[in-house]
């Protein structure tokens, strides 16, 4: 090999090595509050922020005018966000004028107007969770029927090298689905309050199970795909395994706040059988302690 060709190859490999790894896809979204969540769960759901449709909105439901309310974007792994596109909601009760996006270390201020704001970041946000906080709201929107104490946004789109939310999720999977809504997120297993196993159900139709031993320091991971057939949760290992009926069960648990060691509030509980593997079997919760 000539010294000139070797030099060219070395330079090319250096460029490739300097590029950041592709963003991990979005796993799920959570908010500090949601308007009419019990009565109409899809109408003001945070997934409405992801669909590039200005007619669908997320609205907060906290006491006050919406300032300090949050939307948290959880990714399957470490992500890198270098572009933010935010569309205000025409139906908002209170006009959102400024938001902040944070990766827990750095933050970016985005000032909103009447139209979509498309902002490139001089310093990307990097992390597994990106948090949006409403920083400032303006006067009431006189044409809104939602009430002057409700703040809404239409779209919040996060890009990494022009890949929307990691670029690996079909747009249809970013829309609300009532059965999938019951499992989306990261769930803690047993023992309750000091879990050693966790399971994550993500928007892209994948699941990941983790064991993190407290005493033995052992770590283990299983992964695969999931889907619903009616109200039956089906899971399989990998992308080609046999689909198994998990005998899925779901319930909401009311908490007695006076009980010692109780979670901070009511929580959800799901249970799975051993159809995938015995170690996955059991109850999982999203309690906050």
- What are 253's two structure tokens? 């648990």
Task: Specify the DSSP class assigned to residue 62.
Answer: -
Q: What is the pLDDT of residues 155-214, one digit of tens each?
A: 999 999 888 887 777 777 788 999 999 999 999 998 998 999 999 999 999 999 999 998
pLDDT, residue 154, reads: 97
The whole-angstrom separation of Cα 267 and Cα 186 is 13
Question: What is the strand order of the sheet 267-272 is part of?
Answer: 244-245, 232-237, 219-229, 206-212, 197-201, 185-188, 282-285, 267-272, 249-253
The whole-angstrom separation of Cα 72 and Cα 277 is 32
Radius of gyration for the chain, computed over Cα atoms and rounded to the nearest angstrom: 22
Cβ atoms of 183 and 46 within 8 Å: the answer is: no
Domains identified in the chain and CATH numbers: 26-168 (2.60.120.260), 178-285 (2.40.128)
At 1, the pLDDT band (50, 70, 90 cuts) reads: low
At residue 233, the 3 state secondary structure works out as strand
From residue 53, alpha-carbon distances to 56, 79, 203 in Å are 6, 24, 18
Task: Name residue 220's beta-bridge partners.
Answer: 211
pLDDT, residue 57, reads: 96
Q: What is the pLDDT of residues 225-248, one digit of tens each?
A: 999 999 999 999 999 999 999 999
Straight-line distance from the first to the last Cα atom of the chain, in angstroms, rounded to the nearest whole number = 62
Q: What is the pLDDT of residues 260-284, one digit of tens each?
A: 889 999 999 999 999 999 999 999 9
Residue 254 predicted with pLDDT over 60: yes
What are the two backbone dihedrals, phi and then psi, of residue 45, each rounded to the nearest 5 degrees?
A: -70, 145
- Cα angle, residue 118 at apex, residues 173 and 156 outer, rounded to 5°: 35
Helix intervals (H) in 141-191: 178-181
Residue 89 predicted with pLDDT over 60: yes
């Amino acid at each position: 090999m000539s010294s000139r060709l070797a030099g060219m190859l070395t330079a090319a490999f250096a460029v490739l090595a300097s590029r950041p790894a592709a963003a991990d896809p979005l796993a799920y979204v959570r908010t500090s509050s949601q308007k009419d969540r019990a009565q109409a769960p899809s109408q003001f759901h945070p997934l409405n922020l992801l669909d590039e449709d200005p007619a669908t909105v997320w609205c907060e439901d906290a006491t006050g005018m919406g300032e300090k309310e949050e939307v948290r974007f959880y990714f399957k792994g470490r992500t890198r966000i270098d572009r933010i596109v935010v569309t205000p909601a025409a139906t908002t009760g209170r006009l959102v004028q400024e938001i902040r996006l944070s990766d827990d270390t750095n933050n970016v201020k985005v000032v909103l107007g009447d139209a979509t704001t498309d902002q490139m970041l001089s310093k990307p946000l990097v992390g597994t969770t990106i948090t949006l906080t409403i920083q400032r709201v303006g006067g009431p929107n006189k044409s809104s029927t939602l009430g002057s104490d409700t703040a809404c946004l239409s779209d919040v789109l996060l890009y990494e090298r022009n890949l929307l939310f990691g670029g690996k999720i079909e747009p249809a999977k970013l829309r609300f689905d009532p059965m999938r809504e019951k499992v989306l997120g990261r769930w803690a297993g047993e023992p309750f309050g000091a879990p050693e196993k966790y399971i994550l159900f993500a928007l892209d139709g994948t699941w990941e199970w983790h064991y993190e031993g407290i005493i033995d320091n052992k770590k283990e991971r299983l992964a695969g795909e999931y889907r619903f057939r009616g109200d039956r949760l089906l899971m399989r290992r990998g992308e080609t395994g046999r689909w198994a009926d998990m005998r899925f069960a779901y319930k909401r648990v009311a908490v007695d706040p006076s009980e010692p060691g109780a979670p901070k509030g009511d929580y959800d509980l799901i249970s799975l059988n051993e159809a995938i593997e015995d170690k996955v079997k059991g109850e999982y919760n999203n309690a906050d302690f």
